[in-house]
Chain A
Amino acid sequence: MSIANQPLLKLENITKRFKKLTAVNGVNMEVAHGEKLVIIGPSGSGKSTLLRSINLLEEIDEGTIHFEGNEVGYVLRNGKRHLDHPQAISALRAEIGMVFQHFHLFPHMTVLGNVMEGPLTVQRKSVEEARSIATDMLIKVGLSDKRDVFPATLSGGQKQRVAIARALAMRPKLMLFDEPTSALDPELVGEVFDTIHTLADEGMTMIIVTHHMGFARELADRVIFMESGNFLAEGAPEEVFSKAHDNERIRGFLNRLL
């Protein structure tokens, strides 16, 4: 099987438990190269946990993760599953960009410093090279004029765009967006969506967890509706968002939001 045909990401039987609560309940999922996958569902349904499991910010209890055809993240030792060694995990994360609901910019670094940090520290690129990559990324998200200010002076929308630039600077093969607009004032949502749209148009593979149905419908190649750790529905946006969806729970959820 050629690389082009196999999925970029393949999750099998992913299960994550927090004490008694099963946050993700044995789900399976494939993401093709260039695919835009949107995960929706009520809060507490396990969307974020699933997303965070992909880049190993959450350690799963069961299941396997294949990235570019290779099993990643966990190794068997004496018949028991363990997290892979830290270098391997860092190497995987370096190829998967992540954008958080609350941005988590590094407040002590300038905007440019934030975006340079990955290439500089993780990829050990020279300062000049890192600066040139970071400058390109800031131009892409439309914030090159803010390169020398600290994050504290930025609006929420600007912060999120810097966070996207920071992730992109690592040249990731997959981007994970964990409710990227949920912490933003409504008037600032648009600029972040526009930035994500630009990325999508460039062919970036991405998984987006969001509560904005309009955005999901317009961007997604495929939508997954998740509830209580399970996939309730999966399919093309027009399918899942159809008002006459046969699942009552999905219908109820969508009616409340749309």
Chain B
Amino acid sequence: MKYLAGRAFVALLFLWTLTGSCLGAVDYDQLFRQSSDLMAQGDLDGALELLRQVPTPAAGEEAGAFVSSRMQAARILASQDETTRALAVCQEVLKLFPDNSEARNFVAALKDQLKPGWHTVLSDTLRFLPSLAKGAVMTLLLVLSTMLVSPLGGLLIALGRISTLRPVSWLCWFIIWFFRGTPLLLQLFFIYYGLPSLGITLAPFTAAVIGLGLNYSAYLGEIIRGAIQSIDHGQMEAAKAIGMSYGQAMRRVIIPQTYKRLMPPIGNEFIALIKDTALVSTIAMVELMRAADQLFNTYFNITALMLAAVIYLVLTTIFTFIFEKIEYRAGIYEHR
């Protein structure tokens, strides 16, 4: 019923426009409005028919309405999965205006749709990979810097904690208490956005490495302390008995024996670190997460996020293997 009414309406309109064109002045705005109405009612064929009535302009004639009508038609067809017909309509526009960017972009998008699915993913991948790779390099730089800084910081904190000098021990306890007890995100915000108000302005990368470094030093400090204290007390006595100082005993005897025990928990922490670098995206750093987020927001394309996930997995897998290798090497003296 509704359909018939629509048809009748179209016929009336058709007559009306004919008269209009006879009069030499077509109200294109009204035409577009009516076609939109038809679309809203679900009568796409009707809408298309209306749009078709905008004539191909002669050379020199005003062509805005023509281009708009054809592009609108192309969009309708594309939404109906009539990709080939939509392409043909776009070609009509391009025949007259080869440089029309709207038509060109639409043709490119339609051609993408004609390819099989994996092909689209592949071309998206190729399109996104350069910026994701740049982000991944930044993530890797952050990870490596923190991996360099935090074991040293952790060792200092661990030695401080077991020191017989009370103030040193308390200071290290406080550092661990603070950095383990507050969110890493808050620490990063404080260092990057908060410190400038105290007159200390840091570059994003510096702020990120300081934040991650302090946080991970606190965690590694406790792990290293545990490992040191797990070494048989007889080792320290034997070292002292041959005349070693406390420092020599630590450096030559105790700490080298902790490496094997340290690797599993430190490996855990460093895997977590790879993913924690994503938090750094909040302090104006374009690392992997930020790069993926930007692509996702620009193209609204989920491939960007999936690719980022794959890159994170690749990174964590590589590091897992490296840690396992190091653990094996560090404990080689225990193999019989």
**A residues with CB within 8 A of B:** 55, 57, 86-87, 90-91, 93-98, 100, 102, 104-109, 117-118, 121-123, 150-153, 163, 166-167, 170
Contacts and interface: CB of A to CB of B under 8 A. Distances in A.
B232 interface: yes
Contacts of A153: 336
Interface centre among B237, B241, B256, B336 (most CB of A within 10 A): B241
Given A90-B245, A100-B234, 12 more contacts: A57-B241, A86-B246, A87-B245, A93-B240, A96-B241, A97-B241, A102-B234, A105-B238, A108-B257, A117-B253, A118-B242, A152-B336
Q: Which secondary structure dominates where chain B touches chain A?
A: helix
Nearest to B251: A121
A51 to B, nearest CB: 11
B334 A122 contact: no
A175 to B, nearest CB: 11
A180 to B, nearest CB: 13
A10 to B, nearest CB: 21
B332 to A, nearest CB: 8
**Smallest CB-CB A-B distances: 5 pairs:** A94-B243, A104-B238, A104-B234, A98-B241, A118-B242
Contacts, number: 75
B237 A57 contact: yes
A108 B245 CA distance: 19
A122 B235 contact: no
Nearest to B243: A94
Interface centre among A106, A123, A153, A163 (most CB of B within 10 A): A106
A6 B240 CA distance: 27
B241 A150 contact: no
20 contacts: A86-B245, A86-B246, A87-B245, A90-B245, A97-B241, A100-B237, A100-B241, A104-B232, A106-B238, A106-B257, A108-B257, A108-B333, A117-B252, A117-B253, A118-B243, A121-B252, A150-B334, A152-B335, A152-B336, A167-B241
Interface centre among B239, B243, B246 (most CB of A within 10 A): B243
Contacts of B257: 106-108
B100 interface: no
Contacts of A90: 240, 243-245
A94 B234 contact: no
A108 B251 CA distance: 13
B248 interface: yes
B241 A93 contact: yes
